[in-house]
């Protein structure tokens, strides 16, 4: 090793170095004073380590450990927090010179507590942690707003106050409970009960849901027997029974009907009111009738114009057989 350097390389807790050889390891280790440590007996291995006692740390266990959370402090014994100049408090995190910056406003006096906290003694008409608020209507009336409303007076500089109400309340001081049932939110004949910023619907039989808008399906339980078809209705149901069954739930056998009753039913069902024409059909019939009349009129007019002198008429008469001329004449 270099002159005057008996323990070069042994500066960490593991006591090993590429410079140090096992030949003088024992001489170097015996010359180091380990404070507040416990280590195993020396062996020929250079990888043996030692550990510090609780509360001590550092390469040679010569430094005490600070109390957890200590900010501006030091220690002489383990777990201490001795505050530096100008700092106080349990964790040395309170600035004892805070009052020198005059944190109190509007003529307030700064007071340093034993705990290191700063307190402001406010002048008349001011309040707050730093005397930043003026004692306006909200402060003098001690929060006049009701039902959780927030009082506002422009930090005390307004001549009057106003209340910002929570949802469900109104009025100058939030004293009025808004009627949540005023808009009739409950459907199908349900009863509405007003609450604080809420309402409750008591549904009529056959309906459910928050607003009683859901029709309960009475057919869900399959009340119709013997293959009957269930039709859901408001607060009830109706069963369409198969042939041979009757009753509200198709449980009864249907009595056979006699022949006369069957004939009467068929006759009644077949004799119904005469079918009426729709508006479109009426317009079509009238249009066709008018067109036919116009065509006949035009034909007669042409016939009259060409047969005024009678020559056309005689020519036409000659075309008929002799047996029919007498009838036409």
274 falls within a domain = no
Domain end: 178, 204, 236, which one?
Answer: 178
Check pLDDT > 60 for residue 40. no
| 121 close to 135: Cβ distance less than 8 angstroms | no
For residues 45 and 89, state if they share a domain.
no
278 falls within a domain = no
For residues 91 and 122, state if they share a domain.
yes
How confident is the model at residue 80, as a pLDDT?
A: 92
Domain end: 38, 60, 82, which one?
Answer: 60
112 falls within a domain = yes
Which tens digit of pLDDT belongs to each residue from 146-163?
999 999 988 888 888 999
| 63 close to 57: Cβ distance less than 8 angstroms | yes
How confident is the model at residue 276, as a pLDDT?
A: 64
| 199 close to 169: Cβ distance less than 8 angstroms | no
For residues 80 and 108, state if they share a domain.
yes
For residues 38 and 54, state if they share a domain.
yes
66 falls within a domain = no
Residue (of 102, 98, 89, 88) closest to 118 by Cα position: 98
Q: In the beta sheet, which residues pair with residue 39?
A: 50
Which tens digit of pLDDT belongs to each residue from 63-116?
899 999 999 899 989 999 998 888 888 888 888 788 888 889 888 888 887 777
How confident is the model at residue 86, as a pLDDT?
A: 81
Check pLDDT > 90 for residue 229. yes
**DSSP label at residue 173:** T
Tell me which residue range forms the domain holding 30: 1-60
Q: How would residue 310 be classed by pLDDT, with cut points 50, 70 and 90?
A: low
Which tens digit of pLDDT belongs to each residue from 180-209?
999 999 999 999 999 888 999 999 988 999
Tokens 């339980």 correspond to 221
For residues 117 and 157, state if they share a domain.
no
6 falls within a domain = yes
For residues 116 and 93, state if they share a domain.
yes
| Cα–Cα distance, 239 to 272 (Å, whole number) | 27
Of residues 265 and 195, more confidently modeled: 195
For residues 143 and 160, state if they share a domain.
yes
Count of beta carbons in the 10 Å neighbourhood of residue 271: 8
If one counts the domains in the chain, the total is: 5
328 falls within a domain = no
For residues 223 and 188, state if they share a domain.
no
Does this model's pTM top 0.75? My answer is no
String of b and e for 12-37 (b: at least 16 CB within 10 Å)?
ebebbeeebeeeebeebbeeeebebe
CATH code of the domain covering residue 157: 2.10.25.10
319 falls within a domain = no
How confident is the model at residue 99, as a pLDDT?
A: 82
| Cα–Cα distance, 152 to 167 (Å, whole number) | 17
Check pLDDT > 60 for residue 301. yes
Continuous segment of H or E residues that includes residue 57: strand 56-57
Residue (of 148, 203, 212, 137) closest to 177 by Cα position: 148
Averaged pLDDT for residues 275-281: 72
Which tens digit of pLDDT belongs to each residue from 280-290?
888 888 888 89
Q: How would residue 12 be classed by pLDDT, with cut points 50, 70 and 90?
A: very low
8 falls within a domain = yes
CA–CA–CA angle 282, 288, 293 (5° rounding): 125
For residues 195 and 222, state if they share a domain.
no
């Amino acid at each position: 090793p270099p002159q005057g350097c008996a323990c070069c390389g042994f500066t960490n807790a593991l006591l090993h170095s590429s410079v140090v050889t096992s030949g003088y390891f024992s001489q170097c280790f015996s010359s180091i004073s380990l404070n507040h440590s416990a280590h195993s007996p020396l062996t020929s291995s250079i990888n043996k380590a030692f550990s510090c006692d609780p509360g001590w740390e550092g390469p040679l266990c010569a430094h005490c450990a600070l109390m957890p959370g200590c900010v501006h402090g030091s220690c002489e014994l383990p777990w201490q927090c001795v505050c530096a100049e100008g700092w106080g408090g349990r964790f040395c995190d309170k600035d004892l010179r805070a009052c020198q910056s005059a944190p109190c406003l509007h003529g307030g006096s700064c007071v340093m507590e034993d705990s290191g906290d700063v307190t402001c003694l406010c002048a008349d008409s001011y309040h707050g942690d730093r005397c930043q608020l003026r004692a306006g209507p909200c402060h003098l009336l001690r929060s006049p707003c009701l039902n959780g409303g927030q009082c506002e007076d422009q930090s005390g500089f307004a001549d009057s106050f106003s209340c910002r109400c929570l949802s469900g309340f109104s009025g100058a001081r939030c004293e009025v409970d808004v009627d949540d049932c005023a808009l009739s939110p409950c459907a199908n004949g349900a009863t509405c009960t007003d609450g604080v910023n809420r309402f409750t619907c008591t549904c009529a039989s056959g309906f459910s849901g928050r607003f009683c808008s859901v029709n309960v399906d009475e057919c869900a339980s399959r009340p119709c027997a013997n293959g009957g078809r269930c039709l859901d209705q408001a607060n009830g149901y109706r069963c369409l029974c198969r042939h041979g069954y009757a009753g509200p739930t198709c449980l009864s056998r249907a009595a056979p009907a006699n022949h006369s009753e069957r004939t009467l039913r068929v006759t009644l069902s077949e004799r119904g009111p005469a079918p009426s024409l729709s508006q479109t059909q009426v317009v079509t019939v009238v249009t066709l009738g008018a067109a036919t009349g116009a065509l006949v009129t035009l034909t007669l007019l042409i016939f009259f114009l060409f047969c005024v002198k009678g020559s056309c008429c005689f020519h036409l008469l000659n075309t008929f057989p002799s047996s029919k001329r007498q009838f036409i004449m």
